Chains A and B, each alone.
Chain A
Amino acid sequence: MRSRKPLALFAAAAFVLAGCGGGGGDASTEGPVTLTWWHNRTTEPMKSKWQQIADDFHRTHPNTSFTIEPLQNEQFQTKVPLALQGNTPPDLFQQWGGGALADQLKSGKLADITQASSGWIGPLAKNADGWKAGGKQYGAPYLMHAVGFWYRKDIFATAGITSAPTTVDELNAAVTKLKAAGVVPIALGGKDRWPDAFYWAYFAVRQCSVDTLKKAVEKTELTDPCFLKAGENLKSFLDTKPFQDGFVGTPAQQGAGSSAGLVANGKAAMELQGDWNPDVMQALTEDKEIGSKIGWFPFPSVPGGQGDPSVLLGGGDGFSCTTRAAKACAEFLGHLVGDDVQKILAETNSGLPVTPAGVAALKSEPHKTIAEAMTKASYLQFYFDTAFPTKVGQALNDTIANFFAGQGGPDTIVKSVSEAAAGNK
């Protein structure tokens, strides 16, 4: 009898929890349906754009309405798993694909939209691959992203740098010139950890061949010596002290003192960041001309590296549908990758359109450059924290951040992946 008591307690708990979440019910996908939509655009202009796109869709599809909940990026990491454990997950939510998607699949709540998307997924080509698992489509991107150096053209000119660095040696030379000109060469938001990871990832992408990169993600291991070498190259780069003082405590996007804020306000010359950075910068400065003052160049090549210098590090913003209203949701995803919406998205400069029609509609110079680089790239390496299963990706990011703070070495980074994959905390 004694041993059965805990079981009874947990059964009761499960019952209560199930009861709490039971309000959802199964709405018929044919009748009117209200999609709960969690997206990550909490700031303008995208926040209103999504609202407008949803309203437009409702006008042409009166049976589908929306309850929109914009959430900050960080919140998704905790809210999505909780929601997928419950009985009322959002019907449509921000999905970065890769390893997290594979983790989420185990909840059984993600909708397989392979069939439903067959009519519109074609033009996305390889952009849609990150939202696949086991050959099935579990979501779709609406914008792709790529990381590269954003720089202040005016500051580069003042410091006497005439062309964007194409090799790490040129980058180091630029850093020296910028220091001499009294400007912080590169701003880095080390508090948030993920910006640190961009550097390690790019040194790995430049050092390792595409095949090696693919194999590493597939097997969740960094056993190839090129990953160790990447860490050593990163170490040499850090030794040139290219960042602002106290970068390990600097937030990436909050306030004028953040890394994006430093560049936006002319206190720093460069930042290795995603294509979304102009939006972020604009919000952090009074300077209305900031958009025309910044330019973009890809991460420079590393002498002696096996990596293809055209390969970009990036990812994408997408959405996954949950099973309750999968049909209406997939239809809406199709609408998002349609020419009309892709053109609207292209005008916001908040990412790279996923279809050729969208790319053609890009207006901002830096974004055209990035989209061009993306088209030319022989491969898009997903951010490692996204490509790997979540626990491995986060462990890798933490280890890289510690490395930036002076703890551990290139070998620690490589080991963190195999250890996390083996289940060590």
Chain B
Amino acid sequence: MMSAAITTRPPTAPVPHAPAAGGTRRRSRLRTRLELALLLVPALVLFVGFVLIPIGVAGYYSLYSWNGFGPLTDFVGLDNYVEAFSGDVFQGAIGHNLIIATLSIVVQLPLSIGLALLLNRKLRGRTFLRMVVFAPYVLSEAVTAVIWLLMLQPGGFVDEILRGVGLGGFVQLWLADQSLVLYTLFVVITWKYIGFGVILLLAGLQGVPPELREAAALDGASAWQTTRHVVLPLLGPTIRIWVFLSVIGSLQLFDLVWIMTLGGPANASTTMATYLVDHGFKRYEFGFGSAVAVILFIICFLFALLYQRFALRRDTQGALTGVR
């Protein structure tokens, strides 16, 4: 993708005041190249220095049993990878990430679309409501996690509210119940990130021409039919981008889980990233941790590539794939 984006090509528009003389053309091509180099080199240096090299280094570390101190001497080949994949805890972690990703799409997407459609209508206090929905997204993840950690303690704010409205029977050990904790975390994630989806979709809705709705209404389409057959298809690109961001975010989930449960109780909410920190950093097993990091990277990278290739292809045509 990167290489496609930076492919040099002769300008499609005629070069202004370009005489037919070959020398000038060559000079202008040289100039284009120079400009490209000038503009791209800083970004490229940063990208190589802070993305590609660290990935390479992590891959290198991952082949060693190394506690982070002293030279790398204990070469173990792919043992770290084998050990990660054969462990129950890591398998569970991958499962938890997939559950969160699936739930995001199944629950958060319809919710975001519904809220966005609602907030796109003319109603009193719309700006205020939009702000309310968006506010949690602005909070830092750590602050969100601490607030919810305190509110979800037994007898805490959440329990009090439930009892206050007569739903005391629904009170649970939100963070202590091993079969529930992951879903509790998902609710907090939804609370935090729903605003982002709504804002994205609201922006998408601005791109739906009112004439199309009017035309549909004139043809006798009901509000539901208009939404289903006119608005939603036009929201397609926005929804596909949201799904992309949401899945990647779910796969990399860390801060919230780390602060609220440390992946517990008994690894019931471990994610790939918390596993990485727990078994890499905290245990001074940097070689093993690197292997887990590489696995996480490959999973995200594969998803990104496949999704770009199959789902986003139409949306990004021209933007990323270049004009031929």
Contacts and interface: CB of A to CB of B under 8 A. Distances in A.
Contact of A247 (B149, B152, B176): B176
Q: Which of B153, B155, B288 has the most CB of A within 10 A?
A: B153
Contact of B285 (A6, A406, A425): A425
Nearest to B153: A257
A190 interface: yes
Contact of A425 (B149, B150, B279): B279
B53 A391 contact: no
A9 B53 CA distance: 8
B265 A78 contact: no
B150 A249 contact: no
B244 interface: no
Q: Which of B53, B156, B268, B284 has the most CB of A within 10 A?
A: B284
B284 A248 contact: no
Contacts of B174: 246, 249
Contacts of A292: none
Contacts of A423: 65
Given A191-B175, A249-B181, A103 B261 contact: no
Interface size class of A (residues with CB under 8 A): 35 or more
Interface string A250-262: 1100111110000
A410 B308 CA distance: 50
Contacts of B288: 425
A16 B49 contact: yes
Nearest to B56: A9
Interface string B212-242: 0000000000000000000000000000000
Contacts, number: 138
Interface residues of B, number: 46
A395 interface: yes
A401 B265 contact: yes
Q: Per DSSP, are chain A's interface residues mostly helix, strand or loop, or mixed?
A: helix
B198 interface: no
B53 A249 contact: no
A82 B61 CA distance: 14
A248 B68 contact: no
A12 B68 CA distance: 20
A104 B267 CA distance: 28
B183 to A, nearest CB: 14
B267 A402 contact: yes
B322 to A, nearest CB: 28
Nearest to B285: A391
A56 interface: no
Contacts of B152: 249
A257 B68 CA distance: 37
Contacts of A191: 175, 261-262, 264-265
Contacts of B283: 390-391, 394-395, 420
B281 A425 contact: no
A249 B175 contact: yes
A193 interface: yes
B239 to A, nearest CB: 35
Given A10-B60, A250-B176, A391-B284, A106 B277 contact: no
A81 B266 CA distance: 26
A249 B60 CA distance: 37
Interface string B69-99: 1100000000000011001000000000000
Nearest to A255: B150
- Interface-centre pick from A100, A256, A390 (highest chain B CB count, 10 A): A390
A247 B54 CA distance: 40
Interface in B249-285: 261-262, 264-268, 277-279, 281-285
Contacts of B181: 249
Contacts of A163: none
Chain A to chain B: the 3 pairs with minimum beta-carbon distance, closest first: A257-B153, A246-B176, A249-B175
Interface of A: 6, 9-10, 12-13, 16-17, 77-78, 81-82, 84-85, 100, 103-108, 190-193, 244-251, 254-258, 389-391, 394-395, 398, 401-402, 404-407, 420, 423-425
Given A249-B261, A254-B150, A258-B153, 11 more contacts: A13-B56, A82-B68, A103-B67, A108-B70, A246-B175, A248-B264, A248-B265, A254-B146, A255-B153, A394-B283, A407-B266
19 contacts: A12-B53, A17-B57, A82-B68, A100-B284, A103-B284, A104-B69, A106-B70, A107-B70, A190-B176, A190-B265, A245-B176, A246-B153, A246-B154, A248-B265, A249-B264, A250-B153, A254-B146, A402-B267, A425-B84
Interface of B: 49, 53-54, 56-57, 60, 65, 67-70, 83-84, 87, 146, 149-150, 152-156, 173-178, 181, 261-262, 264-268, 277-279, 281-286, 288
